[in-house]
């Protein structure tokens, strides 16, 4: 029975997660406790949302480095508007709308001005991060409604509410991508933009939709982060681009577009958070976390080139025999 590459990726990711769980259970007796597993689910929720956003963009053939900054901006807007006394329902609506607006601005620069997504989102990431620092002036905002913050301690069947929001969002986006015309257009544009255009697909509209979705979901992640830590901080999502891109690529989504899976990305996020949790439980130096993530990113992105280089350096015997045996001439 032939197994698809997507199924192989899922099996490998499941195996990796199971292996990490077994090793950490052996090395740390506190790992497998309900309190620790619940904390892992809560902590990975907002980063999982960012992974969903990045997956959509990658599948379309784009790139979005502004996700972490949008996450920080939505939280900052939420805290500032709450501080001036606006109705909290309106505060949440505006906070999400800001993320949607940033996504639309990214799309305008990419679609209408024909700028490179990497450059555009790198620039908007820097601009938004500076705006957040200017808004908060390095301070931490508190005083948000207790009922809102208590969602971080709300459980359904002993599963954190924030984790349930992540899974529900993942299911909705997965259905959108796999079972709707819009989703197929996103895959088509990512697979071959020129062919998609010649087939009658409005490529610009698809890109606007993708970046607006990315901005909106990133803003949701910002709200979830505020709920979890019960405050607004200026450094929210600072390392998110590295962590999210690494997890998404581990999950089988390519940077070339046309291929990817939401739940593959979430399995990548889970593996990464299990590792980070293990570092914490084993009292290892946290600086190694970023180093390991960087190395994983290099290996995942460059695996094809690395494999080809290794084959050239260490050719197999079969390859050597094929080179030595010359075909007979008639």
pLDDT single digits (tens) 82-107: 999 999 999 999 999 999 999 999 99
CB count in 10 Å sphere of residue 148: 17
Contacts 24+ apart (CB under 8 A), 144-149: 144/78, 144/79, 144/82, 144/226, 144/230, 144/231, 144/232, 145/82, 145/88, 148/88, 148/227, 149/227, 149/230
Query: Does residue 217 belong to any structural domain of this protein?
Result: yes
pLDDT, residue 216, reads 97
pLDDT, residue 330, reads 41
Q: How many domains does the chain have?
A: 2
Q: Which residues contact 196 (CB under 8 A, 6 or more apart)?
A: 185, 188, 189, 203, 206
CATH number at residue 69: 1.10.3470.10
Is a pLDDT exceeding 90 seen at residue 273?
A: no
Same domain, 273 and 309: no
Helix 181-191 and helix 161-179, axial crossing angle in degrees, nearest 10: 80
CB count in 10 Å sphere of residue 238: 14
C-alpha span between 38 and 29 (Å, rounded): 15
Residue 47 and residue 302 in contact, taking contact as beta carbons nearer than 8 Å = no
Same domain, 69 and 207: yes
Is a pLDDT exceeding 60 seen at residue 297?
A: yes
Query: What mean pLDDT is reported for the chain?
Result: 87
Same domain, 218 and 300: no
Question: Which domain does 307 fall in, by range?
Answer: 288-325
Same domain, 272 and 308: no
Confidence of residue 308 (pLDDT cuts 50, 70, 90): low
Six-digit token string for 197: 């255009």
CB count in 10 Å sphere of residue 17: 15
Query: Does residue 136 belong to any structural domain of this protein?
Result: yes
pTM for the model: 0.88
Q: Which residues contact 143 (CB under 8 A, 6 or more apart)?
A: 82, 83
C-alpha span between 206 and 196 (Å, rounded): 11
Which pLDDT tens digit goes with each residue over 195-239?
Answer: 999 999 999 999 999 999 999 999 999 999 999 999 999 999 988
Same domain, 76 and 169: yes
Mean pLDDT of 42-63: 94
Query: Does residue 330 belong to any structural domain of this protein?
Result: no
Same domain, 313 and 222: no
Residue 205 and residue 211 in contact, taking contact as beta carbons nearer than 8 Å = no
Is a pLDDT exceeding 60 seen at residue 282?
A: yes
Residue 55 and residue 76 in contact, taking contact as beta carbons nearer than 8 Å = no
Confidence of residue 1 (pLDDT cuts 50, 70, 90): very low
């Amino acid at each position: 029975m032939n197994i698809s590459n997507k199924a192989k990726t899922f099996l490998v990711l499941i195996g990796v997660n199971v292996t990490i769980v077994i090793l950490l259970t052996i090395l740390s007796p506190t790992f497998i406790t309900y309190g620790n597993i619940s904390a892992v689910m809560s902590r990975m929720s907002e980063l999982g949302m960012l992974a969903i956003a990045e997956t959509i963009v990658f599948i379309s053939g784009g790139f979005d480095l502004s996700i972490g900054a949008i996450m920080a901006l939505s939280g900052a807007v939420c805290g500032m508007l709450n501080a001036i006394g606006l109705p909290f329902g309106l505060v949440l609506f505006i906070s999400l709308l800001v993320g949607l607006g940033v996504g639309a601005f990214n799309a305008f620069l990419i679609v209408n001005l024909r700028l490179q997504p990497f450059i555009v989102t790198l620039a908007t990431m820097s601009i938004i991060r500076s705006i957040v620092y200017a808004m908060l002036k390095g301070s931490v905002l508190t005083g948000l409604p207790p009922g809102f913050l208590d969602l971080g301690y709300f459980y359904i069947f002993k599963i954190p509410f924030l984790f349930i929001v992540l899974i529900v969002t993942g299911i909705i986006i997965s259905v959108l991508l796999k079972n709707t015309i819009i989703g197929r257009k996103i895959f088509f544009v990512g697979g071959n933009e020129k062919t998609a255009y010649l087939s009658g697909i409005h490529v610009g509209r698809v890109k606007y939709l993708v970046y607006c979705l990315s901005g909106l979901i990133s803003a949701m992640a910002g709200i979830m982060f505020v709920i979890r830590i019960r405050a607004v901080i200026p450094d929210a999502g600072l390392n998110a681009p590295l962590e999210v891109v690494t997890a998404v690529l581990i999950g089988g989504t390519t940077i070339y577009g046309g291929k990817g899976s939401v739940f593959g990305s979430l399995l990548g996020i889970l593996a990464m958070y299990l590792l980070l949790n293990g570092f914490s439980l084993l009292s290892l130096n946290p600086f190694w976390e970023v180093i390991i993530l960087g190395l994983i990113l290099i290996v995942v992105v460059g695996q094809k080139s690395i494999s080809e280089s290794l084959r050239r350096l260490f050719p197999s015997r079969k390859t050597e025999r094929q080179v030595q045996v010359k075909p007979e001439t008639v």
